[in-house]
Every structure is written in structure tokens, then in C-alpha cells.
Amino acid sequence: MRKMIPIVLALGASLAFSAAAESQTLKTVQDRGSLVCGLNPGLEGFASKDDQGKWSGFDVDFCRAVAAAIFDDPSKVQYVPLSASDRFEALKNKQIDVLSRNSTWTMGREGDDSIVFTGVTYYDGQAFLVPKSRNFQSALELDGSKVCVQPGTTTELNYVDFFDTNHMKYETVHEGSADDMIAAYEAGKCDVLTTDASGLFAMRQRLAKPTDSMILPDIISKEPLGPAVRQDDMQWFNIVKWVNFAMLDAEELGVSSKTIDDALKSQKPAVQRLVGTEGDFGKPFGLSADWAVRVVRGVGNYAEVFDRNVGAHSKLGIPRGLNELWNNGGIQYAPPIR
Ligand SMILES: N[C@@H](CCC(=O)N[C@@H](CS)C(=O)NCC(=O)O)C(=O)O
């Protein structure tokens, strides 16, 4: 029995060590004074940089929301543009703290024990963009197409499955970025562009004549897009996960950047728990009691972020569709803060 003691002590010490190692990301971010966020190098509505070098978009706003929760300042973010092929490596090798880059949550991407998705910020699906002049009604008419696609994406795998299943021939034209895909399509190197429908809305804007092309109605896959973090830090996983949920819960409770001061005076228990006038739900995760107030005041609730970047009040004009809240016909459903 006496021989067990060193083993027990050693085990205790190693558990203490791994718990400390587990909670490093928040501390690293706080010590650095900024969040390092990986994003798309350029996808209108999701992540794009203006002439002054200022980033904006749906995925950018998610980075800003995490920074707001931690620093009460959404501007404390360093942005790292990443290609489809480089994004997960950059996360694994700690070049970034969080990946917010139109990335599809799949089992395979979580399978090597290194990264984990924190939720779904945008429910999407894969579609096809074609010249209107071809008069296609359906993706089942695309037999024999030359298809422009980006390597390192779920897109190529899905489209090959779709063509094979429907006994259609295809030729893959690999292009390394959205810009290259657009250039190849305009130059006639391919006759079809395929990616997430949201990406096609964004790319169509960039064509010389957007109205000459159309997005076919077929959606051939599930593309749940969301942020990802490393699997080694539960505290950090929870922070990133709950920032997303807080934005959805805020929308559901009618709390927006415009009504946040009223929400602080609200007598409704669910609103009080969201804004921290009741309970201290951020504490176990190393956040302040008003962490969600910081998010909503600094960046907005889910509807505000969706509308200004990709929805009704944006150039893309994408309908909310599946991304409506669960009680409004969609499937966005955040667990409650309580
Ligand atoms: N959601 C898919 C596709 C993501 C993706 O990278 N799409 C491309 C096609 S639009 C993109 O965003 N490219 C932008 C770029 O690298 O310039 C995935 O996670 O694999």
C-alpha cells in the first residue's frame, strides 16, 4: 500500500498540471492584450478588408464578439487571413486562438484529437452558380461540366459524390482562392462555380456582370459553418461556444445593441441572467458578470450581425432561412443561460 503513495502523488500532480495547461488560452489572450483570429482572406459578407485595412463581415464580427466578452473592446483582435488548406494547421500549431472562417463542422475534422467546433453560427449548404444563358433549371442538368472548386474544402468531396451518384461526368478545375475561382469562371476555364451557397452569393457580387449568372436552387449538402478551437482547453472552448449562444439568446429575448441599457433594468429573469444582474454565469469561465452585455453592446445580437453583414441590410441580401431562430421557423437554437 505504501508503494502506492508516490504513484497517487504523481497522478495528482499530473492532473493539476494538465488542468493548468488546459486553461492557458484565455490567459495567453489576456496577457497579449488581443485575440488572434483566423479568417477568410476575402469573402464579401463574411470577411473582407477595406481600403483602410479595416476588416468586416459575419465571421469578423464573431472574432470581435469574443474580444468584447474578454476585453470589453471588440477592436482588440489581430486578424490572420488563411486559405482553405492552411486554416486547420494554423489552429493546431497555435498560430491563432480561434478559427472563424466559413468552416464546415464535420466528424473527420474533429477526428485527429486536435480541433473541435464550438457550434454553428451559420447553417449553409452547397450550391452551383452557372451562366443564365445556359438556361439550366436544375443541377441534374450539369452533366459534362467543367467545375471550378477550391482544394482543402468539403466542397470538392460533395460535388464529386453528387455527380457520381447521378451518373454525370465532370472535370475538376482546382483554384486556390475565391479570387482565382472568379477569374477562372470569367475567363471560361470552367462553366460552373461550386461552394457553400453563402459563398456563391458573395462571389456573384464580384463578377463583372452579376445578373448574368444564377445560383441553381439545388442544395446538395449540409454545411454547418462555425468557429473552431483546439481540443486541449475546455475553458476556452466554453467561452467561444457561449459567445455564440449569448448572441442567439439575446435575439430571442429581444435584447439588442439598441436596447441593452433597458435590458440592464429588466425584471425578466431570463434577461437578468443574460445581462448579469442576476447570477454570475461568466465566472467559472474566467469572464465578468456582464460578459454578454459587452458582446451585445459592442457587436450586437445574432440578428443584428446577420442582417448587416449577409442579410436584408447587406449587399448580399441572403434570407435568414434555416438561420432563423427555432421559434421563428428556423433551426438556430441556443441553450439557455441559467
Ligand atoms: N465550408 C467549406 C468551404 C469553405 C471555403 O474555404 N470556401 C472557399 C470557396 S468560396 C472560400 O471561402 N475561399 C476563399 C479564399 O480562400 O479566398 C469548408 O469548410 O470546407
CB of 57 within 6 A of ligand 1: the answer is: no
In this prediction, residues 199-214 reach a mean pLDDT of: 96
User: What pLDDT, on a 0 to 100 scale, did the predictor assign at position 5?
Assistant: 46
Say if ligand 1 is within 6 A of residue 221 CB. Answer: no
- How do 48-49 and 35-39 pair as beta strands? unpaired
Q: Distance (Å, rounded) from C-alpha 189 to C-alpha 322?
A: 33
Contact partners, residue 28, CB within 8 Å, separation at least 6: 97
Q: Whose CA is nearest to atom 3 of ligand 1?
A: 153
Task: Answer for the pair 255, 268: CB distance below 8 angstroms, yes or no.
Answer: no
Please give the distance, rounded to the nearest whole angstrom, from the Cα atom of residue 253 to the centre of ligand 1: 33
Rounded to the nearest angstrom, the distance between the alpha carbon of 18 and the centre of ligand 1 is 35
| Integer Cα distance of 245 and 290 in angstroms | 15
Helix, strand, or coil (residue 59):
helix
The finding on whether 84 has its CB within 6 A of some atom of ligand 1 is yes
Phi/psi at 242 (5° precision): -75, -20
For the stretch 145-162, pLDDT in tens is: 999 999 999 999 999 999
Distance 182 CA to ligand 1 centre (A): 13
pLDDT computed for residue 112 by the predictor: 87
252-305 pLDDT, tens digit per residue, is 999 999 999 999 999 999 999 999 999 999 999 999 999 999 999 999 999 999
Locate the ligand 1 atom nearest the alpha carbon of residue 103 and give its number.
19
pLDDT of residue 18: 53
SS3 at position 136: coil
Pocket test for ligand 1, best of 58, 104, 105, 153 (most atoms within 8 A of CB): 153
Cβ-contact 257, 296 below 8 angstroms: yes
* C-alpha to C-alpha distances, 269 to 151, 185, 262, 263, nearest whole angstrom: 48, 54, 14, 11
Q: Is 233 in the pocket of ligand 1 (CB under 6 A)?
A: no
Question: What pLDDT was estimated at residue 19?
Answer: 54
Q: So what's the pLDDT on residue 15? A: 46
Ligand 1: which residue has its CA nearest to atom 16? 177
Q: Which residues pair with 213 in a beta bridge?
A: 131
Q: Indicate the pLDDT class of residue 7, thresholds 50, 70 and 90.
A: very low
Substitution candidate for ligand 1 out of 49, 126, 196 with most atoms within 8 A of CB:
196
- Where residue 23 falls among pLDDT bands split at 50, 70, 90? confident
**CA–centroid distance, residue 195 to ligand 1 (Å):** 7
Q: Where are the alpha helices (DSSP H) in 75-148?
A: 87-92, 107-110
Average pLDDT, integer, range 43-64: 97
- The fraction of the chain above a pLDDT of 90, given in percent, is 92
Average pLDDT, the chain: 94
The alpha carbon of 156 and the centre of ligand 1 are apart by a number of angstroms equal to: 11
Predicted TM-score (pTM) of the model is 0.93
Q: Is the CB of 40 under 6 A from ligand 1?
A: yes
Higher-pLDDT residue of 84 and 113 is 84
Residue 106 alpha carbon, nearest atom of ligand 1: 19
- Asked whether the predicted pLDDT for residue 16 surpasses 90, the reply is no
44 Cβ inside 6 Å of ligand 1 = no
Give residue 86 CA to ligand 1 midpoint distance, Å. Answer: 11
Query: Does residue 42's CB lie within 6 angstroms of at least one atom of ligand 1?
Result: yes
